[in-house]
Amino acid sequence: MIKVLLVDDDYLALEGLCRMLHWDDFNGELAGCATDGVEAVSMIEDNPPDVVVADIKMPRMNGIELSRYLYENHRGTRIILLSGHSEFEYAQKALQYRVTDYILKPVTRQKIKELELLLTKIGKDLAAKKEIRRLTGSEALKDRMLSLLRRGDEKTVYEFLHDGVLAEALLHDTAGTLGSTLLNYTFSYQSEIGKDKSSLEDMKKQGMEDYWDLSSPPERVSYLYTRCQELMAYARNRKSEYEQPIVAHCIQVIQECFSDPGFNISQLADRANLSLPYLSTVFKQAMGQTISSYLSRQRLLCAQELLQDISIPIKDVCARSGYEDPHYFARSFKKQTGMTPSEYRNLYSSRDLHPDLPEKEAHS
């Protein structure tokens, strides 16, 4: 919904304009009517509209003076001037105040359609800018961008940048702020995959300079996608030589530390000097399971082995297997094996006493 203030010293023209506009067609709302620039300024100060539609010739403060006031005090408010043919040269003075457009009088039904098209475009621009502000500060957008880069699927990244809400916002991103934010995320990914960290700052500086040298949103989107392609290609080429040692290191650390109840996968990522999302992706691709699942499996295997020794109290089995809470240990053990720790111990005790019996009979 865009708020529109109408300004004209001709009351009948003002009333006709208000009545002839199809407000629903451009999702508009009348913010008010003023009969000259001075009255309009007072209304703008109380409640700034999104758009001012004003006659160029008015007493006390004309349309050009009103344009100057908006330029100096409310740059977010657009202005459309109504002017006659004889006033057009005069109206050129308003160009320095970023007047959105002109509608030549008399205001016929055709001119009303032109005005409605202008207001529709302004509404879309304002909605896009609002979306740009929302996306620029969105952690979810950052997570999505990094997730797609880690997957390395160029088609999905292309669709991400060229289709949907983000693409629409990027095409309206004339200031380049949203695109530069996404470009910064690519630098974060470069750091994540260990790409030339010593010169990363220089790379960022050059990348930003190249980006800001581009003048149009489509050019900037194309540049951004090219950077993503380069990074994903680099990650693929380095994958085998880089990721194999990472996974081997993780397995070694888990084997050394799983018995410590305080050990977790965040500590593992810190020891590997990598982000947890990236490390998780690398590990799952190589091992076919998550790091958490692998860690839980090592603790379970240790607990099963210790439970077979009846001289070790179950509470000690819990602690030595890397579980801090005995109740959580019991729940987790049963979830993974279908038996409580005590039932598991009894099963193996029975098998030791009756080695020739099938497992079910030894347990009965």
Of 282 and 85, more confident: 282
Residue 40 has pLDDT above 70, yes or no: yes
How confident is residue 98, by pLDDT bands cut at 50, 70 and 90?
low
Residue 124, helix vs strand vs coil:
helix
**Residues 39, 67: contact at Cβ < 8 Å?**
no
User: What is the DSSP pairing of strand 78-83 with strand 101-104?
Assistant: parallel
Q: Report pLDDT for 224.
A: 93
Q: What is the pLDDT of residues 112-155, one digit of tens each?
A: 898 899 899 888 888 888 888 888 878 899 899 988 988 888 89
> Is residue 158 exposed (0-12), middle (13-18) or buried (19+ Cβ within 10 Å)?
middle
**How far is it, in rounded angstroms, from Cα 286 to Cα 269?**
16
What is the pLDDT at residue 195?
A: 63
Please, what's the b/e burial string for 221-242 (b: 16 or more CB within 10 A of its CB; e: otherwise)? bebbbebbeebbeebeeeeeee
Contact between 80 and 112 (Cβ < 8 Å): no
- Mark residue 292 as left, alpha or beta (left: phi above 0; alpha: psi -120 to 50; beta: remaining): alpha
Output the six-digit token pair for 8: 């004209």
Query: Binning pLDDT at 50, 70 and 90, where does residue 322 land?
Result: very high
* pLDDT score for 128: 84
Least confident of 94-103, 109-118, 137-146, 286-295: 94-103
Strand partners, 7: 34, 54
Q: Are 52 and 31 contacting, i.e. CB atoms less than 8 angstroms apart? A: no
Listed residue (211, 109, 216) closest to 173, CA to CA: 216
What does the pLDDT average to over 74-81?
87
Structure tokens, 138: 């969105």
Strands 101-104 and 2-7 turn out to be unpaired
Q: What is the pLDDT of residues 187-206, one digit of tens each?
A: 888 877 766 666 777 888 88
**Averaged pLDDT score across all residues of the chain:** 84
pLDDT-based confidence at residue 63 (cuts at 50, 70, 90): confident
Helix axes of 217-257 and 164-171: crossing angle, nearest 10 degrees: 130
Q: Encode 287-300: b = buried (16+ Cβ within 10 Å), e = exposed.
A: eeeebeebbbebbb
Q: What pLDDT band is residue 355 in, cutting at 50, 70 and 90?
A: very low
Give residue 331's pLDDT: 92
Q: How confident is the model at residue 239, as a pLDDT?
A: 64
pLDDT in tens, 173-188: 888 899 999 998 888 8
Burial class (CB in 10 A: 0-12, 13-18, 19+), 336: middle
What confidence category does residue 157 fall into, taking pLDDT thresholds of 50, 70 and 90? very high
